[in-house]
Structure 1
């Protein structure tokens, strides 16, 4: 690419022609052929009489119509035309392709009373206990840019519970909108807007969980957004494993459990009191509706949460 920068006319033509190879999943469900032998009774690979057929399709596209994948979940959700090889991503980016995280806008809607529940406290302690392991493996891996330290997780992240959470994602190139329930989301306290900013961490975040059966995978996905510049499916799966496995299991797998025990610290949330105790109304989010009102201060344990736009990309 450095050699091409001298050829401005050629670069302009490359940016304005559909000559880059793009790939996307081609998905469909087809009946299982009658001639195929039935799977063994203990197999769960094929359900009922259908199999999910997945293949890939290719075509030549403009660079600006191709997404670069820095979030595997978003790629799976919107299935855009993407770069076929990781090694080609810098080349595609120089010609005008964009990272999918920058193309997707997220708006989260927590509903119900914000609580420092026993479940929230247990998850808080668990994250603090496992924080060194959550970070250490990636600090040794130069291919993954780590944005924060384990000490940051202990001092700047507070866990709270709400009744339920919906998340709305909009893919800008096609305006495709997906609204679905989730069991965890992030909210960044905006100290600049509050009267207690002198006592608040300017980098403080809430991790909100919903319901008794919150998914550790959802929690791990939120942590990936906070910790890494780019994350893939395997990153969330690894963090989920670190959170749900016992220390004995992790020790058998080779994780530095002794170091975790030595570095364990007591968490003291640095969440300041709210500027007002009067709770605002809580509108509900339904498919097809978008709400954008914001919180002026982190709420107390008995306040109602209004709508807010999740502040990803501002860390």
Structure 2
């Protein structure tokens, strides 16, 4: 399929995902780390789900939220990696217009869902440390399920306008997207119409989601740290803080690369374009890959259960 930058059309039936310009000859080699990380993400998150389901002692709010995070990571990575690998392996760059809009929705929606789950997990840690005697009465199974549903609905409601805004725009310049996946702003920038509403709404959603979620997470951990520093002994402080380390590591893995990517896109004019594309994909793939590893290493009940499973199979 030829790639044209001057095609005359309105609402194309197909977009072309350009891949990584300048690194076409390295696509097969790049597919190795991408495929490896995808396999780790799928197997790792499925393992987390299996362990929590099988181990009744893990049927607690913290691990329910962890299962929500695992499901979100599976959906998020699967939204992008199969198409990315088809580009690397088979040079299959074409993507149906409706499929592109669907991919766009799932990527942005589940990024919002993941951010919301981090807020829920921070609230769980706040209640567990600052109000331990009321933890089981505040975060009942019904409340946890309601929080999960609210986080999912928030993501769907906020991001559902994206594909509709992109669909109504006229496309008469090009159908080539210089990325490995359909990203909202990258798609609407191809339009020859007025994209101000789409741009403003995209910026509003990004600020609302990231700034508001980071605010609540910061407030939760401010109260958690205050409670920890009031504990009488150093051992008690370290033990209590240790229950939060996995969550903090996962938050850093999610937000720091995303922040760096946003800053690089706006102020990194001297950074090669292929680096922007690679890093944008890493922001979608690295968190789903590292989250189960971090929780497997940092969370003792999950680590012990995983070790038991492996040793039990060997015996």
- TM-score, L = length of structure 2: 0.22
Higher Rg of the two aligned structures: 1
Counting strand residues as a fraction of each chain, which structure ranks higher? 1
- TM-score, L = length of structure 1: 0.22
